[in-house]
Structure 1
Amino acid sequence: MIKVSVMYPNTPDVTFDIDYYCNTHFSLVARLLGPALKSVAVEYGLTGAAPEEEPAFIAMGHMTFDSLAAFYAAYGPHVTELKADVPNFTNVKSVVQISEIKM
């Protein structure tokens, strides 16, 4: 099982519409990626390690797939449409990490 994490850095001028991200963007993701997408989770940053610290990421979206091949097969045909939706919810460039889930 793999996890694709799309993380949005918390910069001084960041804008992020968490409602759009959760309700509209992830509906699009689920529709386009179909049954290859096994689960999703969205996190919205509150603080860093100490209460007075800003979170490193304003938001993170996590998606799981059975394999890397399954992710690429589902995502590849729709990458242009998914990326075109990003300006509807944020002005920051995401950082993506693909990981193998060990536990």
Structure 2
Amino acid sequence: MKPKLIVLFFLLFACSAAFGQEKQNMTVVEKGLIKVSIMYPYAEGKTFNMEYYETKHMPMVASFLGSNLVKYTIEKGLANGIPNQPLPFMAIGIFYVKSLSDYQAAIGPHISAIRADFANYTNTTPVILVSEVVK
């Protein structure tokens, strides 16, 4: 085999191995899970403390969910999908849970504490969407 082909083969092998490892490390969200998206709309004068949300609020809410919680994510809004348009959301928190009824039962007794904590990190009212993962 020519030296250039050997190097090319090695590079292709290394890239495919790295891609395979990266693919293994990706978290898969299973079909049928319930996704609770808490979206914080952007508007002039609205604020959001991401550090507090990440270290205090979301862990607090997650602790109420127990074994029903599969995972949660936190997203920071960067831009609108349409250039030169305002940011639609400053942040989005997402909980993936196994059961909607279990989620509601777990959150219900703590809803006042959850809402009271809003003032610690934002001055906007979130929009909440509950959906089912289909793919």
Q: TM-score range by the shorter chain?
A: over 0.9
What TM-score, normalized to structure 2? 0.72
Larger radius of gyration: 2
Cα offset for 1:31? Answer: 1.8
For the 8 Å contact 1:36–1:74, the answer to whether it is kept is: no
Alignment partner of 1:41: what SS? strand
For the 8 Å contact 2:68–2:99, the answer to whether it is kept is: no
What TM-score, normalized to structure 1? 0.93
State the percentage of identical aligned residues. Answer: 38
Q: Distance in 1 between matches of 2:120 and 2:59?
A: 14
More helix by share: 2
What's the C-alpha RMSD, in Å, of the aligned pairs? 1.2
Once the two structures are superposed, residues 10-57 of structure 1 have per-residue CA deviations (whole angstroms, 9 ceiling, x without a partner) of: 000111000100111112112222222221011111111244333200
2:59 corresponds to 1:27: yes
Larger RCO (CA under 8 A, 6+ residues apart):
1
Aligned to 2:27: none
2:100 corresponds to 1:52: no
More strand by share: 1
Aligned to 2:74: 42
Q: Distance in 1 between matches of 2:77 and 2:85?
A: 11
Matched pairs, number: 103
